[in-house]
Amino acid sequence: MARKKGNVEFRYYEIPHGEPVLALYGDAWIRTYGYDENDQPIQDLHFHNLLEVGICIYGDGEMILEERAFPYQAGTLTVIPKNYPHTTNAANHQPNQWEYLFLDVDKLLAEFYPDNRWLSERLAYRISKCACCTTVQEHPALALLVRQILKEMEAREEFYREATLGLLRALVVEMARLNPELIEESGHVEKSRKADVLQITRALEYVGDHYDREIKIGDLAQLCHLSETHFRRIFARCMGVHPIDYVNQVRVKNACELLKKTNDSITEISIKCGFCSSATFNRNFRKFMGITPNEWKKLPENYERRLTKNNISYYDGW
């Protein structure tokens, strides 16, 4: 279905106070998706402030994920990050039923991993990389978790919040696994590496919080109560890169977020991310990403920056 270019709707959802997730289920979600209350086709895409997980109960049609179209039917599963333009169009103007979970991923990860920012950020990055349209058959573990969370939220039996939080912790991991091309390492982390991580945790946290400033390796070593030589050795063994390369990797990662979500100039982004010059920024960006910043921000998966080029209308929920 064609849409009016340049128009996109922002639909705001709020998780009820004290609840772990917003669950939408039941007969209220039997609808002719893709049509408004006046039975007119909806041409605009929309995006949410929360991550959306959907499961099709019955019906069929077409799911539009930004500029890509996917057929759906009963048993289709979708995971759509916040700020990702999309829409659902039922086939043949027939009612379909979907059920949904809306999650605040950043808040959940901060609660699940308060002392492991590295893991929290890694999971968040994997989950928010792109939208996914799959099936119950392809990802049965994901489907089971979604259905069990919906069941807990509907029944609301004793300790349902605690049960749901446990299921959500497993769900965020399953969602992160949907992007296999982003897997950075395989197998279990050895105990010795875990010990190394603990020794340099304060340095990792400092870099994450202060990457936009000048960072000296000697200062990071002092934070960890290690000599600079010993710190460099442990850091390289643990992280697989030298400390200065890690600092620049973090800066480039955050630059990618700004390139994706804003229309700031390359010079502005290089300064915000702690690089002393645009030339240094470009050199490091190409080193870690393989392409220039200008080339990277044109990639199709960088959906959030394109929102700034649309006329956005605000809606409260559906």
Per-residue confidence (pLDDT) for residue 313, from 0 to 100: 56
Contact residues for 317 (Cβ-Cβ < 8 A; gap 6+): 11, 12, 13
Q: Which helix (H) or strand (E) holds 316?
A: strand 311-316
Are 72 and 61 spatial neighbours (Cβ–Cβ below 8 Å)?
Answer: yes
Q: Which of 86, 28, 26, 92 is nearest to 59 (CA)?
A: 92
Per-residue confidence (pLDDT) for residue 120, from 0 to 100: 86
Per-residue confidence (pLDDT) for residue 3, from 0 to 100: 44
48: helix, coil or strand?
Answer: strand
Per-residue confidence (pLDDT) for residue 4, from 0 to 100: 45
Per-residue confidence (pLDDT) for residue 238, from 0 to 100: 80
Q: Please, what are the averages of pLDDT over each run of 10 residues along the chain (318 residues)?
A: 61 91 94 83 87 97 91 97 92 94 94 84 86 95 97 96 97 89 43 69 89 94 92 85 90 88 89 93 89 81 62 59
Interatomic CA distance for residues 273 and 263, integer angstroms? 15
- Distance from CA of residue 83 to its chain's centroid? 10
Q: Which of 211, 205, 206, 307 is nearest to 253 (CA)?
A: 211
Helix 243-261 vs helix 228-239: angle between axes, to the nearest 10 degrees? 50
